[in-house]
A = this chain, B = another copy of it.
């Protein structure tokens, strides 16, 4: 409630147009909904941060996911992430018209229609990084932003990346997913004058430490246009890139 609404409400109270009870309710108003004792849905999140609440399915039961998804899908676009195929059934059935993608492990329905400034590139170093990239791409699609996929262009063969410079140039932001040493983010960062979102993946072994190595690589990037999200966090990378792509 901003100051203008507050002044309006108080003016209506003073003029008798609004009762005290009504005003108390409005001032205390709860923009959330309790669900079965296990969830408190944040129903104002779209207004506040520009996207409805997204369901992180990992650690929830299939029944919990389905109940939350059904509720959220009544209010706008739906995105469920980290949803394993064997757990996806109830939610798919609960939300008519939803689409499950086994590569990105997402369930989604609908898309937002805010004006955007351009597409977002989603690059990765190797074939094994594709599932994480697809989570980012689906997120962008739900936000109404076009993802431009540039896959398997790791630094051991840089010419593959350089051949796609045209695609990089037409995007307003670039997501770079990489496991192992994660050097691709710095190289892309040195090539473009746009925000680069480093997306470390857990692809690798031994001293990759489950993705900590590419995470550190990206955090220490000598290219200063690189910021970083959590390991394998395709959704977060897609979401921030989607925000950057928005008009106004």
Contacts and interface: CB of A to CB of B under 8 A. Distances in A.
A: contact size bracket: 35 or more
Contacts of A208: 216, 220, 230
Nearest to A50: B193
A24 B7 contact: yes
B48 A154 contact: no
Interface in A203-248: 203-233, 235-236, 239-240, 243-244, 248
A158 B183 contact: no
Given A10-B24, A207-B219, A217-B217, A227 B225 contact: no
Contact of A206 (B45, B202, B240): B202
Given A14-B20, A229-B219, A205 B50 contact: no
A227 B240 contact: yes
Contacts of A160: 30, 32, 40, 42
Contact of A189 (B49, B192, B210, B220): B49
A97 interface: no
**Assembly stoichiometry (copies):** 8
A149 B39 CA distance: 12
Contact of A223 (B49, B182, B225, B232): B49
A44 B54 CA distance: 35
A181 B27 CA distance: 30
B42 A156 contact: yes
Contact of A64 (B14, B127, B189, B216): B127
Interface string A1-43: 0010011001101101000100110011011100001111010
A213 B214 CA distance: 9
B205 A230 contact: yes
A212 B51 CA distance: 29
Nearest to A208: B220
A77 interface: no
Give the 8 A-B CB pairs with smallest separation, nearest first: A206-B231, A59-B128, A50-B193, A42-B157, A183-B183, A227-B227, A213-B216, A40-B152
